[in-house]
Amino acid sequence: MPLEYNTALTHQIIGLAMRVHARLGPGMLESTYERCLCAEFDASELPYARQVPIPLRYRGTLLDCGYRADMIVADEVLLELKAVERILPLHEAQLLTYLRFSPCPIGILVNFNSVSLKDGLRRRVRAPAPDALP
């Protein structure tokens, strides 16, 4: 099964995010949700990295422009976490940009400040940029 269709991993990630949301509810800081999600990943022995730098490749040169993915899970799924009133097109554009310049084929935007977390989820598959990968 191609990585872009790795639904078992994305379902596991979403399930753990839902567990965090069920315990905390909306209204907390993004950093709180991130730390609690890390605790869930640890308990599930799911490998992840936090605040992962995403360099931009421009004209063959890697540039550190300060972009950071909130989390990358199992070297496959980029997570962008939010705690905002609603997901804006800007948030989705941010996820797509991070995906474009990362090696991850899948991205999930999670807005924990939703009454129902399923309303705060967006799953996207990367379309590779011509100059994005090494």
* The three-state (H, E, C) secondary structure of 72-88, written as one string: EECCCEEEEEECCCCCC
Average pLDDT, the chain: 90
pLDDT in tens, 68-121: 999 999 999 999 999 999 999 999 999 999 998 898 999 999 999 999 999 999
Give helix 7-24 / helix 30-43 axis angle, nearest 10°.
120
Buried b (16+ CB within 10 A) or exposed e, 66-102: ebebbbbbbebbbbbbbbeeebeeebeebbbbbbbbb
> Which residues are bridge partners to 107 per DSSP?
78, 124
Q: What is the pLDDT of residue 130?
A: 53
pTM of the model: 0.87
